[in-house]
Amino acid sequence: MNTSHENGKRLDPVTFEVLRSSFEYVCGRMSTVLQKAAFSPIIYDMVDFSNAIYNERLELLGQTANCPVHIAAMHFSAQASVKHFGFESLRPGDIFVLNDPYDGGTHLNDMTFTMPVFFEGDILGFAVSRGHWTDVGGGAAGGQAFGTHIAGEGLRLPPLRMYENYRVNDDLLRIIVANTRTPQYIKGDLQAHLAALRIAEAELQRIAGRYGIETVRQGMREVLDYTERLTRNAIREIPNGTYHAVDYADTDGISDEPVRVEVTLKVDDDRIVVDFEGSDRPVAGGINSPMANTYSAVYYSLKFFLSPDAPANAGSFRPIEIRLPEHSWLNAKWPSPTIGCTTLTSSKITAAIWKALSDAIPDRAVAPTFAECNWFVCSVKDPRSGENFVFSDLPAGGWGGTPRHDGMNVTQDPLGNCANLSAEVAELLFPIRYEAFDLRADSAGAGRNRGGLGSRLAITMLGSSEVSIETSRTRTGTPGVAGGADSAAQRVARHTADGKLDVIGGISPDGEWHNPLRGKRLEAGDRFEVLTTGGGGWGDPMLREPARVVEDFLDGYVTLASARDDYGVVIDSSSGSIDREATERARAKHRHASGKAEALAAAGR
């Protein structure tokens, strides 16, 4: 598709570049304003929101990549809103709200606000602002009830008019306020979204006033075509072929069975077909992914390899065709619960796609990440006032090793650029105490280039509390690629004040696996602990330079035992130096045992 030449002329490069930057700038302004004006820590501290602008046909023009998982999902929300009310009915000052997973939404906490932007009576485009609202009702704090019906996850809003002529729909607002555990955030966060949208409106109108609406529209068409061209060129660099991979979620929380993501990438010159045939059917528990969420995960997972520097807009979607089986947990329909889709499920989609790409472009492949968000929601009662607080955090893990370097430590999965809740803010606001947030030794997948490390987060609850976590990789860790090893499994636990360990999710010392997607009650004084995992390793760990293993040992990244067993490097613990003879023996023994090492080394080079 090439629409640049609809009126037979193209913008000069300077005007093009100014307009392209303007579209990005508008989104940056929206995000600054939303973050600074917001009332809830999830928005102002953890940055769980996204803002974007669209052309008059609701194609994505520019965005802030706060949460990539929001981005491609947001235009489905906007389209659903406009479709419901009809293009002709739109007026300046209309703002629609929607969170319906089956009509362009993802999970109920992601509230999406869509505003048409007019210029001299014509629709210039749309501004869309999405934020994760702390609590919109449901059977447990944050909607994390882990039930089997969407009704248990909160208030479901089909497209509704939140503002008319810039005036709030008070009836609707009162319903929302009456259906949340955190009413104190609602009006303030809503005002912050309004602020973001009005800034976008003012900026877009200013740009149209300066350059004229026809020039701005031409610029909109050309930035989309520009990104499309760069994306198609990038696809041409991937060898034609069919690439296939599988990853699993540990559980849907209801059954103990793993849930399968199966993906086949068909690369054909300048286009890719992404087919999820073979993935599991809808599951009972709350990890089903609606179409908008699955599409989003595909787009941003591929974006890492398809001209990541190209402006992030709908032009990058055009060469990608997505095929979703009608009955699939990745194509959720009413009333399948979806609360875990944005974090747990989208990250598994990414892991499967990256694994498939490791066959297609081994020289550029990246081993999967910890593929989680480890998003937990906790309601805790202040022992003095009796007041109930709801908070969330998302302890990150590591990214996978690459052909060039080790994976990043403790970095959010590609699904979101969210930040941790800072301990200082958390302790001020909530009756909790942050005990630790540090690197977890031996949590990375060993490799010639190992994965990045996972972390340990420990929080003491000062009052009785209930906690629920969306997590996975608790049976086995992150898969390695190109001969790299898997990482250690994740574990969620409660440590009682008298020192007892109670594994909430993952494998306990007796070897038994505990289903993590079940809420847990904690007593005052209990310590809640999440051990996250690292990224998968890349390449045979027996080929890692011994000096780098020693460095990792000195940094506390690997223990002596892991250095010896996983890397074949024997370190003298008192001097911190390599025992060269013992190392040579250990590695020779390994080479003998595994004839494959040489072949993998060749593949890795």
- CA–CA separation, 38 and 51 (whole Å): 14
**Binding-site ranges for another protein (CB under 8 A):** 33, 35-41, 44-45, 184-185, 187-188, 191-192, 194-195, 198-199, 202, 425
Nearer to another protein, 188 or 282 (CB): 188
In angstroms, what is the minimal distance from the CB of 2 to another protein?
Answer: 38
- CA–CA separation, 439 and 423 (whole Å): 16
In angstroms, what is the minimal distance from the CB of 45 to another protein?
Answer: 7
The CA dihedral of 191, 111, 134, 337, to the nearest 10 degrees, is 170
- CA–CA separation, 245 and 258 (whole Å): 16
In angstroms, what is the minimal distance from the CB of 486 to another protein?
Answer: 40
* The token pair that represents 189 in the structure block: 């966060």
What string of DSSP letters covers 115-159? Answer: EEEEETTEEEEEEEEEEE-S---SSSGGG----SSGGGG-----S
Residue 1 DSSP one-character state? -
Nearer to another protein, 134 or 301 (CB): 134
Nearer to another protein, 234 or 418 (CB): 418
In angstroms, what is the minimal distance from the CB of 182 to another protein?
Answer: 11
In angstroms, what is the minimal distance from the CB of 105 to another protein?
Answer: 25
In angstroms, what is the minimal distance from the CB of 203 to another protein?
Answer: 11
* The token pair that represents 107 in the structure block: 């999970």
Cβ burial of 93 (10 Å; 0-12, 13-18, 19+) is middle
CB 131 within 8 A of CB 342: no
CB 75 within 8 A of CB 50: no
Nearer to another protein, 41 or 546 (CB): 41
Nearer to another protein, 29 or 591 (CB): 29
Nearer to another protein, 35 or 490 (CB): 35
Nearer to another protein, 134 or 409 (CB): 134
Residue 397 DSSP one-character state? B
In angstroms, what is the minimal distance from the CB of 198 to another protein?
Answer: 5
Nearer to another protein, 190 or 314 (CB): 190
Q: In whole angstroms, how far apart are CA 383 and each of 235, 434, 466, 499, 525?
A: 58, 17, 14, 21, 11
In angstroms, what is the minimal distance from the CB of 426 to another protein?
Answer: 12
Q: In whole angstroms, how far apart are CA 565 and each of 324, 572, 595?
A: 43, 14, 17
Nearer to another protein, 169 or 594 (CB): 169
Nearer to another protein, 73 or 199 (CB): 199
- CA–CA separation, 64 and 30 (whole Å): 9
In angstroms, what is the minimal distance from the CB of 329 to another protein?
Answer: 37
Nearer to another protein, 151 or 195 (CB): 195
> Which residue carries 């259906």 as its tokens?
179
Nearer to another protein, 428 or 561 (CB): 428
In angstroms, what is the minimal distance from the CB of 144 to another protein?
Answer: 23
CB 252 within 8 A of CB 285: yes
CB 351 within 8 A of CB 323: no
Cβ burial of 386 (10 Å; 0-12, 13-18, 19+) is exposed
Residue 535 DSSP one-character state? P
In angstroms, what is the minimal distance from the CB of 153 to another protein?
Answer: 25
Helix (H), strand (E) at residue 529:
strand 527-531
Helix (H), strand (E) at residue 209:
helix 183-211
In angstroms, what is the minimal distance from the CB of 44 to another protein?
Answer: 4
